[in-house]
């Protein structure tokens, strides 16, 4: 009888242990599957940075303000599309309780980029910098400080924008670009490469998301239909080639190729196979001209062949 009670007690203990294991496992079963995660890139949480050109002064201007962009275009400036995409940080205006831009700067993880205006330069001139000391010194010699214009991504998550200086002019002396081909062309013309100015997502991502739902068609580069490499051509340009094999060869030749998906940044090119490419948007997702059934979509990468930075 004692032996029977022992067996019964052991059965109860084992049952309770099993229930305990099941109760621990339940939350894990409710976790989001990898293919259901959302992309890191979300336009609703970002600022589109517009690039404009004044043919009369030679100045390039950069702004996140769509109304300022429209006003300048109305005044004769040329809209050159989206320069890059920046983090969106709500900056409270100064008010009675003392809230200011400085408060916003202190509470965000992103570093601010400051904008200044030189009213004494012929036609006017803007300058942009992350260096608060440079900003303050320019204000001291007469530039108008216009405060925080936008924010920079961290080095590890964004594409660098380069700062160049033209020593042969007295106004509109600086230019900023994430395009290494444009940077190198200006350097060949005598501009001085100064450093990385700040970091952002490539502007071509905005173009990419505008194509969602458009059809897939072999041999096309848009604007009404795309194949996978034609989609890259349309959103980013032709610097890396037209075909997937040309793009892979270009990435490998420039040292930008990686077979580790954890090394990709948002905006990089991502290959699910040697013959298929899209644009990486984080969390193992990419936007791509997929096939004739789905067209341009954003989806999970079930396989990864390699990839790297277009710029």
Sketch the domain layout of the chain as residue ranges: 43-202, 205-308
Return the number of other C-beta atoms located less than 10 Å from residue 254's C-beta.
13
Burial code (b: 16+ CB inside 10 Å, e: under 16) for 99-131 equals eeeeebbeeeebbbbbbbebeebeebbbbbbbe
Which range (5-14, 198-207, 217-226, 227-236) has the least confidence? Answer: 5-14
Helix (H) or strand (E) holding 286: strand 285-289
Q: Once rounded to an integer, what is the mean pLDDT over residues 89-116?
A: 66
Q: Class assignment of domain 205-308?
A: alpha beta
Q: Once rounded to an integer, what is the mean pLDDT over residues 248-262?
A: 97
Q: Once rounded to an integer, what is the mean pLDDT over residues 249-259?
A: 97
pLDDT band at 31 (very low <50, low <70, confident <90, very high): low
Tell me if 310 sits within 8 A of 269, measured CB to CB. yes
Tell me if 307 sits within 8 A of 271, measured CB to CB. yes
Higher pLDDT, 11 or 231: 231
Q: Once rounded to an integer, what is the mean pLDDT over residues 108-120?
A: 93
| DSSP for residue 259 | S
| pLDDT at residue number 38 | 83
In the predicted model, is pLDDT for residue 219 greater than 80?
A: yes
Number of H helices, E strands in the chain: 8, 14
The string of pLDDT tens digits covering residues 173-185 is: 999 999 999 999 9
| pLDDT at residue number 27 | 45
Higher pLDDT, 80 or 155: 80
- Residue 227 phi/psi, 5-degree rounding, is -100, 180
Query: What is the distance in angstroms between the CA of the first residue and the CA of the last residue of the chain?
Result: 80
Structure tokens at 23: 């109760």
Higher pLDDT, 149 or 5: 149
Structure tokens at 102: 């400085």
In the predicted model, is pLDDT for residue 22 greater than 60?
A: no
In the predicted model, is pLDDT for residue 52 greater than 70?
A: yes
In the predicted model, is pLDDT for residue 197 greater than 70?
A: yes
Identify any residues that bridge with 14 across adjacent strands, giving them in sequence order: none
The string of pLDDT tens digits covering residues 274-292 is: 999 999 999 999 999 999 9
| pLDDT at residue number 156 | 85
Tell me if 175 sits within 8 A of 186, measured CB to CB. yes
Higher pLDDT, 8 or 129: 129
Q: Once rounded to an integer, what is the mean pLDDT over residues 155-168?
A: 95
Higher pLDDT, 36 or 48: 48
Q: Once rounded to an integer, what is the mean pLDDT over residues 111-115?
A: 97
Which range (54-58, 71-75, 91-95, 201-205) has the least confidence? Answer: 91-95
The mean of the pLDDT values for the chain is 87
- Round to whole Å and give the CA distance between 179 and 52: 16
Q: Once rounded to an integer, what is the mean pLDDT over residues 155-175?
A: 94
């Amino acid at each position: 009888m004692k032996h029977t009670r022992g067996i019964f007690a052991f059965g109860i203990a084992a049952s309770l242990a099993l229930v305990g294991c099941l109760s621990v496992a339940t939350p894990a079963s409710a976790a989001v599957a990898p293919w259901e995660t959302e992309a890191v890139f979300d336009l609703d949480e970002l600022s589109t940075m517009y690039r404009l050109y004044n043919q009369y002064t030679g100045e390039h201007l950069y702004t996140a303000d769509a109304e300022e962009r429209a006003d300048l275009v109305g005044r004769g400036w040329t809209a050159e599309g989206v320069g890059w995409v920046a983090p969106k940080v709500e900056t409270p205006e100064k008010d009675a309780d003392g809230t200011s831009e400085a408060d916003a700067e202190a509470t965000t993880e992103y570093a601010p980029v400051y904008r200044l205006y030189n009213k004494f330069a012929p036609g006017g001139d803007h300058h942009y910098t992350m260096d608060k000391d440079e900003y303050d010194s320019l204000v001291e010699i007469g530039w108008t400080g216009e405060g925080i214009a936008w924010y920079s991504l961290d080095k590890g998550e964004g594409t660098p924008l380069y700062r160049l200086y033209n020593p042969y002019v007295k106004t509109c002396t600086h230019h900023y670009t994430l395009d290494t081909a444009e940077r190198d062309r200006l350097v060949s013309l005598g501009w001085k490469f100064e450093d990385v100015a700040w970091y952002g997502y490539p502007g071509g991502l905005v173009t990419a998301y505008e194509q969602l739902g458009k059809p897939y068609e072999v041999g096309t580069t848009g604007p009404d239909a795309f194949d996978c490499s034609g989609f890259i051509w349309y959103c980013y340009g032709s610097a890396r080639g037209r075909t997937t094999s040309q793009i892979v060869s270009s990435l490998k030749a420039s040292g930008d190729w990686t077979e580790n998906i954890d090394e990709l940044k948002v905006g990089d090119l991502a290959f699910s196979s040697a013959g298929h490419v899209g644009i990486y948007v984080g969390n193992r997702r990419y936007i791509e001209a997929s096939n004739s059934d789905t067209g341009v979509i954003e989806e999970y990468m079930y396989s990864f062949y390699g990839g790297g930075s277009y710029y």
